[in-house]
């Protein structure tokens, strides 16, 4: 499987994740490498135009994980080598999944850990269930979420309820279609930004560097046309539901902004966008921007933003991870109060003890952490 010269690939896992990835591929067209993996044969076959990869078939009888985390986890472990072989040429994996089910919640942490062990950069987009799906689904999602936070370089959360106003009045298929379209259009803009050579480029290597410095992020996009398009695009970004209507911009420690426009983009417009954004962000925000120009965007300005909730320069992050090895599972022992799950070597790491590695597994890390076994407390 070739992942193109860019080494950038979109991967969908689980029913919702595969459908979102397929929606992005339909919207983008040729040039977006997409692979989809699920435990449910019927769901995967329904994805027109994409060759899906079934995993865990022996264990789950091709019928999905039934909402059970351990089913998804074991299915991914069964077929991990097949999954990894499909992704061997990728350098940056953008993985989309929906939390609330067993495949997205159980298999994704296993895949994330394996991809990162192979040195790949992983940006993970995960949705949280609609409120109408009930508290059980929400609880499943909340319990699985730390595994994704811990496993990905950067996790972008997209609560389905926050996607747009007037949701309560929408018919269910319309709500899901809108959710998929919102995420798909954001992903398409991100792809265009990364793959279009620009004067002020924001290429995959740039993204890789940024993701290795960040933790969790919010994601949003906006579009404007007409004489006042620069100002309106920033206002639109401030209203983007997934950016919490400005809250995510205001609180961001780092912001990656992509400006996509036609050759009619004026320098003054770029300046205006940056000035207006700086005015709504923290004074000490780390701001990175890129401009992609494509005649297809003539007359419009599209903005796409990743607003990082934390940002530690990658060299400091590496040092922090090394120091963190002595902390407990929730990172509390060393004064960390973010409740993030961390896989560490505990005192084995601190003492500089040589790793006990058998069949690629570091046995100094407790089994339940290595195996992503969720402890219900
Ligand atoms: N945006 C979007 N969300 C979806 C879609 N289908 C399901 N979801 C959401 O995803 C959550 C998990 O459902 P699935 O993705 O079907 O679950 P799964 O990962 O396949 O897990 P199992 O079905 O248990 O194997 C649901 O609770 C919904 O919130 C979809 O087509 N689009
Ligand atoms: Mg499913």
Ligand 1 centroid–CA 177 distance in Å is 13
The pLDDT-based confidence of 366 (bands split at 50, 70, 90) is low
For residue 375, the model assigns a pLDDT of 57
Ion ligand 2 neighbours (CB, 5 A) are: 15, 40, 64
- Whole-prediction pTM: 0.84
Taking residues 16-24, report their average pLDDT.
96
Non-local (6+) Cβ contacts of 167 within 8 A are 161, 175
| Phi, psi for 343 (deg, rounded to 5) | -95, 120
**pLDDT over 60 at 20, yes or no:** yes
Q: Superfamily for 204-308?
A: Tubulin/FtsZ, GTPase domain (3.40.50.1440)
DSSP conformation letters of 253-317:
SEEEEEEEE-TT--HHHHHHHHHHHHHHS-TT-EEEEEEEE-GGGTTEEEEEEEEES-B--HHHH
For residue 164, the model assigns a pLDDT of 67
For residue 194, the model assigns a pLDDT of 93
Taking residues 96-102, report their average pLDDT.
98
Of 134-143, 233-242, 317-326, minimum mean pLDDT range: 317-326
Taking residues 284-313, report their average pLDDT.
92
Q: Which two tokens stand for residue 246?
A: 């400005």
- pLDDT tens digits for range 332-359: 223 333 333 444 444 444 455 555 655 4
Q: Determine contact, residues 256/217, Cβ cutoff 8 Å.
A: no
For residue 323, the model assigns a pLDDT of 55
Q: Which ligand places an atom closest to the C-alpha of 70?
A: 1
**pLDDT over 90 at 373, yes or no:** no
Which residue's CA is the nearest one to ligand 1's atom 5?
16
- pLDDT tens digits for range 209-258: 889 888 899 999 999 999 999 999 999 999 998 999 899 999 999 999 99
Short-list 50, 55, 52, CA closest to 24: 50
Q: Which residue would you say has higher pLDDT here, 270 or 368?
A: 270
- pLDDT tens digits for range 31-64: 999 999 999 999 999 998 888 999 999 999 999 9
Taking residues 160-164, report their average pLDDT.
82
Taking residues 116-134, report their average pLDDT.
95
For residue 349, the model assigns a pLDDT of 47
* Topology match between the domains 8-195 and 204-308: yes
Taking residues 143-165, report their average pLDDT.
91
Average pLDDT, the chain: 85
Q: Which two tokens stand for residue 223?
A: 């579009």
Q: How far apart are CA 50 and CA 22, in angstroms?
A: 7
Which residues is 34 bridged to in the sheet? 10
What ligand 1 atom has the least distance to the C-alpha of 105? 19
Task: Please give the DSSP secondary-structure letter assigned to residue 203.
Answer: -
Taking residues 127-144, report their average pLDDT.
95
Q: How far apart are CA 76 and CA 54, in angstroms?
A: 10
For residue 48, the model assigns a pLDDT of 82
Domain range summary for the chain, segments of one domain joined by +: 8-195, 204-308, 314-370
Taking residues 263-267, report their average pLDDT.
95
Q: How far apart are CA 63 and CA 83, in angstroms?
A: 18
Q: Superfamily for 8-195?
A: Tubulin/FtsZ, GTPase domain (3.40.50.1440)
Q: How far apart are CA 217 and CA 305, in angstroms?
A: 10
**pLDDT over 60 at 2, yes or no:** no
Q: Which two tokens stand for residue 48?
A: 């027109």
* Percent of residues in the chain assigned helix, strand, coil, to nearest 5: 45, 20, 35
Q: How far apart are CA 43 and CA 101, in angstroms?
A: 13
Task: Please give the DSSP secondary-structure letter assigned to residue 353.
Answer: P
Ligand 2 centroid–CA 39 distance in Å is 7
The pLDDT-based confidence of 160 (bands split at 50, 70, 90) is very high
Share of the chain above pLDDT 70, in %: 81
Q: Which ligand places an atom closest to the C-alpha of 42?
A: 2
For residue 205, the model assigns a pLDDT of 87
Q: Which of 69, 100, 182 to mutate to test the pocket of ligand 1 (most atoms within 8 A of CB)?
A: 100
Q: Determine contact, residues 310/253, Cβ cutoff 8 Å.
A: yes
Q: Determine contact, residues 61/54, Cβ cutoff 8 Å.
A: no
Of 38-42, 121-125, 206-210, minimum mean pLDDT range: 206-210
For residue 343, the model assigns a pLDDT of 44
CA dihedral 348, 351, 353, 357 (to 10 degrees): 30
52-54, strands of its sheet edge to edge = 52-54, 34-38, 8-13, 92-98, 121-128, 154-159, 216-225, 300-308, 254-261, 286-293
Taking residues 202-206, report their average pLDDT.
87
């Amino acid at each position: 499987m070739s992942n193109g010269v860019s080494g950038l690939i979109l991967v969908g896992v689980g029913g919702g994740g595969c459908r979102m990835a397929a929606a992005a591929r339909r919207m983008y067209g040729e040039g977006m490498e997409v692979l989809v993996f699920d435990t449910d044969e019927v769901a995967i076959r329904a994805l027109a135009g994409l060759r899906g990869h079934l995993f865990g078939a022996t264990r789950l009888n091709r019928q999905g994980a039934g909402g059970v985390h351990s089913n998804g986890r074991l299915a991914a472990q069964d077929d991990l080598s097949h999954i990894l072989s499909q992704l061997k040429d990728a350098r940056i994996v953008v993985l989309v999944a929906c939390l609330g089910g067993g495949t997205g919640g159980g298999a994704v942490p296993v895949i994330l850990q394996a991809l990162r062990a192979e040195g790949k950069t992983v940006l993970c987009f995960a949705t949280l269930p609609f409120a109408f799906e009930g508290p059980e689904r929400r609880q499943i999602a909340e319990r699985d979420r730390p595994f994704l936070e811990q496993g990905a370089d950067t996790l972008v959360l997209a609560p389905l309820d926050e996607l747009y106003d007037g949701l309560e009045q929408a018919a269910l298929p319309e709500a899901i279609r809108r959710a998929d379209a919102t995420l798909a259009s954001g992903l398409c803009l991100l792809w265009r930004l990364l793959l279009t050579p620009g004067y002020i480029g924001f290429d995959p290597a740039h993204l890789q560097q940024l993701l290795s410095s960040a933790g969790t992020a919010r994601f949003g996009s906006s579009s404007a046309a007409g004489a006042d398009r620069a100002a309106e695009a920033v206002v639109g970004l401030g209203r983007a539901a997934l950016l919490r209507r400005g809250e995510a911009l205001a609180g961001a420690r780092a912001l990656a902004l992509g400006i996509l426009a036609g050759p009619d983009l004026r320098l003054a417009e770029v300046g205006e966008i940056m000035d207006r954004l700086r005015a709504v962000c923290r004074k000490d925000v780390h701001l990175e921007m890129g401009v992609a120009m494509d005649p297809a965007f003539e007359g419009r300005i599209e903005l796409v933003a990743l607003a990082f909730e934390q940002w530690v320069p990658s060299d400091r992050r590496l040092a922090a991870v090394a120091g963190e090895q002595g902390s407990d599972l929730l990172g509390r022992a060393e004064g960390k109060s973010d409740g993030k799950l961390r896989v560490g070597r505990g005192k084995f790491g601190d003492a500089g003890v040589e790793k006990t590695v058998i069949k690629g597994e570091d046995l100094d890390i407790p089994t339940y952490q290595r195996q992503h076994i969720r402890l219900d407390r």
